[in-house]
């Protein structure tokens, strides 16, 4: 099966600019996650979707971050305006439907964001 | 807040030596998952443990889930250079979101 697709792989922007990341999960996976991984740390959940509904966005900095999954398939994560501390790898992951918090995650290759 | 702690943060071994990383949670976990992230790569799922006291093996890797379901360990016997990477545990404390530990970075000297 095809894996989780993410683009772009790398992005360099200046602070206060905006940026968007795209993710296409594994076919048939209803649950989609966006994680932020700062260098040397474990992935931190930003938002979780079940189909096109938000399950958990409690750790998403909503003043600058937004995410959508309009048709319950692919998703975009946006940052506007970016800050220096947003420099990180943004990982998208998916898991089969109905699995809640017990299902293993399939990660994409991630987007490495550098904010200067 | 609910946390999943891992130790050690770094481990350097000679090829052929054993390696162990430990994972501890402040609350009971419904399950524990282990992932491996190669340098420059993304986390890849290794295994999931669900039952109290469960032990699972994958070739040279042995995974354990504590009796109280608050701790876990990953043991690698006779490390190889292909084992290099960061090993993460992750668990959902009491029905909360899946929380990753900070990882143990393993380097193997040939």
Q: Rounded to whole angstroms, how far apart are CA atoms B70 and B66?
A: 6
Among B86, B1, A19, A78, residue whose Cα is nearest residue A10: A19
What's the pLDDT score for residue A54?
93
Identify the pLDDT of residue B97.
Answer: 80
pLDDT of the residue at B40:
93
The Cβ-side half-sphere exposure at A99, using a 13 Å CA radius, reads: 21
**Which residue matches tokens 């800050």?**
A83
Cα–Cα distance, A93 to A110 (Å, whole number)? 9
User: pLDDT tens digit string along B69-100?
Assistant: 999 999 999 999 999 999 999 998 766 788 89
CB contacts under 8 A, A 45-104 vs B, are 45, 48, 56, 58-59, 91, 101-102, 104
B97–A contact, CB cutoff 8 A: yes
CA distances (Å), A47 to each of A75, A78, B19, B78, B90, in order? Answer: 11, 12, 34, 39, 16
* pLDDT of the residue at A97: 63
Task: Confirm if B93 and B99 have CB atoms less than 8 A apart.
Answer: yes
pLDDT digits (tens, 9 = 90+) for A81-91: 999 999 999 99
Assigned token pair, B62? 């042995």
Please give the Cα distance from A32 to A46 (Å, whole number): 11
For residue A92, name the pLDDT band (cuts at 50, 70, 90). Answer: very high
Q: Most B CBs within 10 Å: which of A104, A107, A110, A112, as the mutation test of the B interface?
A: A104
> What would the pLDDT profile of B13-63 be if each residue is shown by its tens digit?
999 999 999 999 988 998 999 999 999 999 999 999 999 999 999 999 999
Partner residue facing B42 (CB), from A45, A48, A110: A110
Q: What is the pLDDT of residue A72?
A: 83
Residue A99's pLDDT band (cuts 50, 70, 90):
low
Nearest to A92 by CA among A42, A41, A35: A35
Q: How far is CA A26 from CA A51, A108, B15, B103, in A?
A: 13, 9, 36, 26
Q: Which residues of A32-62 are buried (b: 16+ CB within 10 A; e: fewer)?
A: bbbbbbeeeebbbbbbbbbeeeeebbeebee
Q: Which two tokens stand for residue A80?
A: 């506007």
Higher pLDDT, B47 or A96: B47
What pLDDT was estimated at residue A102?
73
> So what's the pLDDT on residue B2?
57
Residues A19, A82 contacting (CB under 8 angstroms): yes
pLDDT, residue B71, reads 96
A-B CB pairs within 8 A amount to 50
Say whether residue A9 is in contact with chain B using an 8 A CB cutoff. no
Phi, then psi, of A27 in degrees rounded to 5: -55, 130
Tens digit of each residue's pLDDT (9 = 90 or more) over A12-63: 999 999 999 999 999 989 899 999 999 999 999 999 999 889 989 999 999 9
């Amino acid at each position: 099966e095809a894996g989780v697709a993410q683009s772009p792989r790398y992005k360099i922007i200046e602070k206060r600019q905006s940026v968007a990341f795209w993710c296409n999960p594994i076919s048939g996976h209803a649950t989609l996650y966006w994680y932020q991984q700062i260098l040397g740390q474990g992935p931190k959940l930003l938002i979780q979707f079940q189909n096109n509904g938000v399950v958990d966005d409690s750790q998403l900095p909503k003043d600058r971050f937004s995410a959508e999954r309009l048709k319950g398939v692919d998703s975009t994560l946006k940052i506007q305006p970016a800050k220096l501390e947003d420099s990180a790898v943004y990982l998208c992951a998916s898991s089969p439907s109905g699995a809640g918090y017990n299902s293993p995650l399939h990660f994409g290759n991630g987007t490495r964001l550098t904010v200067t | 807040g609910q946390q999943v702690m891992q130790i050690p943060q770094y481990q350097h071994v000679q090829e052929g030596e054993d390696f162990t990383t430990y994972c501890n949670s402040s609350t009971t976990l419904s399950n524990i998952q282990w992932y491996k992230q190669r340098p420059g790569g993304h986390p890849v799922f290794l295994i999931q443990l669900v039952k109290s006291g469960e032990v699972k093996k994958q070739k040279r890797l042995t995974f354990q889930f504590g009796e109280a379901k608050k701790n876990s360990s990953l043991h690698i016997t006779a490390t190889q250079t292909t084992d290099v990477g960061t090993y993460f545990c992750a668990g959902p404390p009491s029905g909360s979101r899946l929380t990753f530990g900070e990882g143990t970075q393993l380097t193997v000297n040939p």
